[in-house]
Structure formats: structure tokens, C-alpha cells
Chains A and B, each alone.
Chain A
Amino acid sequence: MVWIRFVLMSLATLFVAAPASAQDKGPHVRIELVAETDRPAPGSEVTLAFASTPQKGWHAYWQNPGDAGLPARAEWTLPAGASAGPLRYPVPHRLIIGGLMNYVYEAPFAQFVTLKLPLGAQPGTAFPVKVKLDYLVCTNEICVPEKAELATALTIGDGAVSTDRRARFDAWRAALPRPLGSQATYQVDGNIFRLGVPFPAAATVSGEGYFFPVTDGAIDYAAPQRVVRDGDRIVVETPAKRSLPAIEGVLAFGSQGFALSASPGTVPPPSASALATAAAAPSEGWIVTALLAFLGAVVGGVILNIMPCVFPILSLKALSLVKAGDDSGNPRGEALAYTAGVVLTCLALGGALLALRAGGAAVGWAFQLQDPRVILFLLLLVTGISLNLAGLFELPTPSFVNRASSRGHGGSFMTGMLAAFVATPCTGPFMGAALGAALILPWPAALAIFGGLGLGIALPFLLLGFIPALRRRLPKPGAWMATLRHILSVPMFLTALALAWVLGRQAGVDGMALGLGAALTASFGLWWTGRRQARGAARAWLPALPLLLLALAALALVRPAPAGAERPAIAGAEAFSEARLAQLRADGRPVFAYFTADWCVTCKVNEKGTIETEAVTEAFAQHKVAVLVGDWTNGDPVLGRFIERHNRAGVPLYLWYKPGSAEPEVLPQVLTQAMLRNLSSGG
């Protein structure tokens, strides 16, 4: 039965669809004019949306259409005293046809217009809004200019918004670019147009970066762009077309956009390390990129050798080489085995990362470090190594390892693996860029980078192994080695401390306490073993084993702290909500509400330099000022609406609610401690 209905339905669709596609008449973009409220209040502003749905295969244009095309034009017919603002567009898509760039919408989208109502409008009267919209729609082949005469009947009222209307507008609002509070700068450097955008390094963005210029003529639209994150800024580079006095545009990452304006100035090129990441942007030149990234990885690996986390291990191995002397032993073989250990471990970690990447998981290098269990394991491992270096106990060498390390190979291989695994916490600052490149490059190139990293870590050792002259420069073994070993335990202990801190960041105080407890348990076991070893007792490891296992059992218990628990603004600050604001004001408390976002440099500067300072915190506490924080990082439309209502397009926004006064005071975007202290003392 079901299939008969299916066949009938399919046939019906065929008959319905066929005439529709045959006539193929417009409008090719269906447009509906929707007001956020049908009962706007006198003197208020109401947002209108052109809810547009392009037909399949057709596209409509952004405010700057690109190489060809036209933006929409609106001609309003409004009651006296009312005025309509400019069209505000959501972030567009790129569409290259025959080498020409088009900035378009191929899926449903909505442009916004702010309509200002006259103060004298009488409640209850009709308020007709009419608009003639001229716009262009095209397929890849043809273009059709279309017209739409739209109207919506409003009635002057109280401005109430229905929930379903609100939800619709919120969804559209989320697609609008967010205004980046800070000013961008651009420079035309020879043939290169370079745009510098302040953007905190800590703020995360996803998707490919692209700069959509609103101002026409500055750049060649169809030319490729290079978007690089370089510390606290984003640099966009693309071939220049001509110099202009100022440029407006939208910097987009995926569907997330930031509206900005740029003035001429000096924009230094991005740093080499940042470039290594960006050059990895998909392009034909990836072989060169891979080569550069490989070299960068080798250099980074060499630098890693002097990091506190690797240096002690390296030194251990160097000591063994010294022990091996010039002729006894096999320094070359040992060096090669160590290298193999390092490189294979790096490749294995890289391979795992690439496998995860292929699986669509959003991971970065040191991904294993985002799991507190891995951190705890490393903490235990590093604590053990530190105690060993400090001389608390000696590592027994199983007979097979002994045999292997008499030829030097097995032991060296294991040391190499250890060095590589332990080195990953240190990769951040040096290797972040090259490894970032590895994440977007084709997998063979990515693996080459991991190999390069391993090679870099192993390089000094390889040199020692192969150049006897260097080895001869090394001091002769002696009692100083034990002292050196003890000294080397210090950076290792520091590494343990750093890991404990990371654990605390990830798993909270409970997790850190658990980790330190586990480390203490393990240390106790190792100490006990050391005592037995000193006495020459048989089975010296017997008491240590259960304690070590107990310490490892802590791995099963440690959990990441809930996300969001980690945003410690100023003491006593609460998340912003209008309900909470109303409640606090009803209680007669002064309220300081601030709106911030991770990608807003000005916000961060104000928070670090003013709001979160001791003096301000104290003043707030003393005068019982309630602090509400609105985090607009993800473009929360509820906050967006609230911000819009205060005549600010974006963050930062600082509001001061004095007890008793109806309207908040909008504070300037650059705060001073004195200003906040004065306000809280009622001055």
C-alpha cells in the first residue's frame, strides 16, 4: 500500500514540477517584508527584514556584488515623519563564474532595515509601510533584474514582539556580521594590499578566512587572498588595485563575519611563523609551503631541545654517549636509534592527529593535552623522571634492554620515544604555526612536518653521534655527572609544576588535588623502592608497584571541569540577563553591565587594565555595585538585541545603572579606573 502511495506521490510531484520548470518565470527570488513587531511604539525603531528565498540555481547579490552584478535598491513610501535606514546584509558567499568573482546568496537570507517612527504617532492608528525593491538575480548563465512591491501594515502600539517573530529575527540576526569595535589599518605595499585587523590571539574562529570589501576598487576580487592570524591581529594580503582613502568591509570566517573599517597606515607583514600556518591555505603552492613548514619544523625541533621538558632527557642520553666514549660502544648506531625513536613517535602522534582530522574532529596539535587524563599521566611520568634524576631511586634495566643498550640501540630508541612524547607540551609557542599548517596540508605534507619536528629534536644528538670531534669536546665522565643529574631534576620538577597547573586549568581544583595526590602516592612508592635499592634488597620494586598502580587509577577519576566555569571575570560578576538586571535594579542596587567578546581587543584591554583591577573590584564591593557580564562571543541574538537597543552596533558596551534613574548611562568605550571608582561612589 505504502509503495502505491509513493508512486502516486512521485507522479504527482512530476506533474506539478514539470510546468513550473517549463515556464521558469520569475520572481526568481521570493521576498517577504516582515516587521519584528506589528505594533511599534511611537518614537521607537522597528527592524524590518526582507526575507528572501532564491530559486534553486539562482543567486542574489551582496551590497558589493563583486566583479559584476548589482546590489538591491529600496524606494520607501512611508507615513510622514518616518525614515528608513540603509540595508544591512548578512555575510555573503563567494561564487566564481568564468574567472569573475561574485559575492552572492544562493540560500535563503534576510536583509535588515531599521525604520524610525515619529514621536507623534498616535497609538491605534494604522502605519502603512510600502517599498519598491529593485534587485538583480542571476544564474551562472543569465541575469534578470526583478522588482518587488512589498508592503506591511503596522499599527502604532506598544512595541511588543511575538515569540515566533522574535525567533525568526534572532536566526536572521545571527547571520549579520558583528561590528568589530576596533579600527583596522591597511597599507598598499608595492603590489600588495595588506590589511591589519586587531583580533585577540585567544579568540577562536573556524572556517576559511576571507575579506569581503564593501568599498569598491581597492582590491581585485577574483585574486586569491591570504588570511593569517599573527598574534593579536589578523593580516589579509591580496594583490592591490589602487589606493583609496578608507576601506569598509567584512572579515569572514565561514559564516561568521566581522564588519570593520580600515584607515591607511603601516601594516607590517605577518611574522614567519604565522605565515607558515597561512601559507598552508589550500593553493597550488603547497609543495613549497610543505617544504618551508618542514624546515620550520626542523628548526622548531632543534629549539625544543633546550626546553625544560626535553633538555633533561637529552642530557641523560648525552651522558650515556659520553660514557660510551669515543671508540667503545657504537655512538652512531645509538644516535640513529634515538633519532628513529623520536621521529617514529612524532609520526605516530601526527598520524593519530591526521586520522582524527579525517574523522572530522576539531583537534589541534597537543590534542592529547586537552584531555586531563593525558595531563595527569604526563604529570606522573615527569614526577617519576624528576625523582629519578634527583637520585631518589634508580631505574632497573630489564635484561633485554640491557643487552640492547650494550649495543646502545634499544635504550636509545626508548629514550627517543620518551623525548618526543614529553616534548609535545612545549611545542605550543615554537611549533604552533608549523603544526597548524600540518592540519590543513595534504596528509603526506603534514606527515613530513611531523617528521621534520622529530628530526629537529634528534638533530643535536645525531651530530654528537656522527662527529667524534664534538664528542671529544664533551667532558669526561666523573662524579660531576651525578651532580649534573641532580641539577637537571630542577627543570623537570618545574615541568611537573607546569603540568599540575594545566591540570588545574582543565579539571579544576579537584582535578589538580587528585593529580597531586596521585603524584604523591607514586613518589612515596618510588621513595620506598629507592630505600630498598639502597639496602640492596631483592625485589626492590615490590612495594612501589601497587602504589604506582593506585596513582594510575586516578586517571579514571579525573574529569574536565565544566566549560564556562573558567571565565573568572571580576569577583561577584554574574552572567547578564534582562531579568536579573531588572531584579537588581528593583533591589535599588547600582549595576555595572558590560558586554564583551573574545574577539574584541578593546574589550580585553578594558577588562585587564580597568575592570578586573583590584582598585575597581574593591570600589565595586564597597559600594555594593552589581556587575553583569554579557558575553557576545558567539553572537547571542538576545544580547545582540539588547546592545542594539542602546544605539551601539557592537561590543564593547558599558552601561551604568544608577539606582533610581530610568535610563542607564552609556560609558565611553575606553574606560578608566577613576571613572568606575567615581561612579561607584555615586560621584
Chain B
Amino acid sequence: MRKLVCTGIALACVAAVAVPLAAEPGIGAVAPHFRAFDMAGKIVNLSDYRGKTVVLEWNNPGCPFVKKHYESGNMQKTQAAAVAQGAVWLTINSGAAGKQGHMSGPEAQKFVAGQSARPSAYLLDPQGLIGKGYGAKTTPQIYIIDAKGRLTYNGAIDDKPTANKADIAGARNHVLAALGEMRAGKPVSVPESRPYGCSVKYPD
């Protein structure tokens, strides 16, 4: 009995330590599973997309860095290219209620329509559960999950960390590059980059 209690306590300790570490999956690790409402009130399950490449995009429409990529059309172009290749694009909003970028379902629909965005779904994560599960820190931040459910990319959309639209032309689009390499059966050459932008507005 005592042994059992001791083991239990030890396990609890390990678990307590392991949870925050597990929060940010490394490249090659199994992407954490999640379920969320999309902007239309439908439940989206990550596991529904097993067998497909999934791109996660963290979004905050008020953030100047997000605006850079939407107002220039770069984000929509990237979304359309990914979807055309058969990938699933999930835009996720982890902004907490009352903070910049937080949106209700109808507001998100208006944003997507207004920007002519092309995500497969726009997910609402006001409690920041998905964001924290993936360790998303900035908007925009991009994750790519391969058909086997493993994380193959985590980082910025491109290699020009500025809010200046003029910098998009000369930038390397990490997302399109990674998707192209994955389609060609090659390993992703830049699997991680430093995400840039505004901090994700998690609840305090």
C-alpha cells in the first residue's frame, strides 16, 4: 500500500513537471490533439484530418504584422496555395475576451469575408487552450503537421521580421517552401524559425 502511494506521488511529480514541457511540441513530435468551435459554430477535430497536411495559422486581425500579410494578400495567397495542394489550413484565434483581436463567430466571418481569406476553417480559442498547447507566441505564427500527425514546421511565415509590406517581395516564404519540400518527399530544410509579430493575447 505504502509503495503504491509513493509511486503515485512520484508519478504525480513527474506529470506536474512534464506537462509544461509538453506544452510546446518539438519538430517531429506528435502534434497535440485538439477540438474547437469554428466561426460557424461547428466543432472541428484535428484528428478528422489524419492523412492530410495541416497548417495552423495564429491570427489577430488587429495586429500590424497580421495586417501586413493580409492587406498585402500574402496570407491569402499562401492559404490558397496550400489548399490547392490538398493541405488543410486552420486559422486559429487565441485572443481572450476583451483583448485586441478577440472575435465572436459572426465577427470572424466578417473578417474572413472582408479579407477574402481562404482558410479551411477559422477556429475560436478564447481560452488559449490550443495556443498554449502548441506554445504559440506570436501572431502570425505558423505550424505545419504532416499526414502522419507529426509536427514538421514551427515558426514565422517568412524570414523578414518586419511590419513593412514592401519586405514581402524579397522574403523566403517558409510555409510554401516547407509544403513544397514535403510534397516532394524531402525533409523540411528550415523546420524551425523564430516567429515574429505581436504576442498572442492570452487571458491573464
**Partner-B contacts on A (CB < 8 A):** 67-70, 73, 97-100, 102, 134, 136, 138, 141-145, 191, 216-217, 220, 223, 239, 242
Contact = CB atoms under 8 A, between A and B. Distances in A.
B196 A67 contact: no
B137 A98 contact: no
Contacts of B100: 141-142
Given A99-B202, A138-B199, A220-B24, 5 more contacts: A98-B203, A100-B200, A143-B64, A145-B64, A239-B21
Contact of A100 (B62, B64, B163, B202): B202
B63 A143 contact: yes
The 4 closest A-B pairs by CB, nearest first: A98-B202, A68-B199, A145-B163, A143-B198
Contact of A141 (B99, B161, B200, B202): B99
Interface in B182-199: 192, 194-199
Contacts of B17: 191
Given A141-B100, A191-B21, A239-B21, A97 B162 contact: no
A223 B202 CA distance: 16
A73 B196 CA distance: 14
Contacts, number: 69
B180 to A, nearest CB: 25
A216 B138 CA distance: 15
A70 B199 contact: no
28 contacts: A67-B137, A67-B199, A68-B137, A68-B138, A68-B196, A68-B197, A68-B199, A98-B96, A98-B199, A98-B200, A99-B132, A100-B137, A100-B200, A134-B162, A134-B164, A136-B163, A141-B99, A141-B201, A142-B100, A143-B63, A143-B64, A143-B197, A145-B64, A145-B164, A191-B21, A220-B24, A223-B20, A239-B21
Contact of B200 (A68, A138, A191, A217): A68
Contacts of B137: 67-68, 100
A143 B200 CA distance: 11
A192 to B, nearest CB: 11
Contacts of A217: 192, 194
A239 B16 CA distance: 14
B48 interface: no
A68 B196 CA distance: 6
A242 B204 CA distance: 27
B121 to A, nearest CB: 24
Given A98-B96, A223-B20, A239-B21, A142 B162 contact: no
A67 B138 contact: yes
B199 A102 contact: yes
Contacts of A141: 99-100, 201
A98 B201 contact: yes
Contact of B199 (A97, A191, A223): A97
A73 B64 CA distance: 17
A136 B26 CA distance: 28
Chain B contact-residue range equals: 20 to 34
A216 B20 contact: no
B128 interface: yes
Contacts of B128: 98-99
Nearest to B192: A217
A102 B137 CA distance: 11
Interface in B10-27: 17, 20-21, 24, 26
Contacts of B26: 242
Contacts of A134: 162, 164
Nearest to A95: B199
Contacts of B62: 142
Interface centre among A136, A143, A220, A242, by most chain B C-beta atoms within 10 angstroms, is: A143
Interface string B141-172: 00000000000000000000111100000000
Interface centre among B21, B65, B196, B198, by most chain A C-beta atoms within 10 angstroms, is: B198
Contacts of A142: 62-63, 100, 198
Contacts of A216: 194
A70 B196 contact: yes
A216 B156 CA distance: 14
Interface string B62-89: 1111000000000000000000000000
Interface centre among B21, B137, B162, B201, by most chain A C-beta atoms within 10 angstroms, is: B137
A68 B199 CA distance: 5
A70 B96 CA distance: 22
Contacts of A98: 96, 128, 199-204
Nearest to A145: B163
Nearest to A67: B137
Contacts of A68: 137-138, 195-200
A69 B200 CA distance: 11
Contacts of B194: 216-217
B143 to A, nearest CB: 16
A69 B162 contact: no
Contacts of A191: 17, 21
Contacts of A102: 199
Contacts of B138: 67-68
A97 B201 CA distance: 8
A144 B199 contact: no
A144 B132 CA distance: 24
Given A68-B137, A98-B128, A100-B137, A138 B201 contact: no
A143 to B, nearest CB: 4
Interface string B106-142: 0000000000000000000000100010000110000
Contacts of B63: 142-143
B103 to A, nearest CB: 15
Nearest to A73: B162
Contacts of A138: 198-199
Interface centre among B63, B64, B195, by most chain A C-beta atoms within 10 angstroms, is: B64
A54 B30 CA distance: 43
A134 B203 CA distance: 29
Contacts of A220: 24
Contacts of A67: 137-138, 199
A145 B162 contact: yes
Contacts of A145: 64-65, 162-164
A554 B204 CA distance: 61
B130 to A, nearest CB: 14
A594 to B, nearest CB: 42
A142 B95 CA distance: 12
A68 B62 CA distance: 15
B13 to A, nearest CB: 12
A144 B197 CA distance: 10
A144 B63 CA distance: 8
Contacts of A99: 128, 132, 202
Nearest to A98: B202
Contacts of A69: 198-199
A102 B162 CA distance: 17
Nearest to B199: A68
B199 A100 contact: yes
A243 to B, nearest CB: 12
Contacts of A143: 63-65, 197-199
Contacts of A136: 163
A145 B162 CA distance: 8
A243 B68 CA distance: 33
A187 B99 CA distance: 39
Contacts of B199: 67-69, 97-98, 100, 102, 138, 143
Contact of A70 (B161, B192, B204): B161
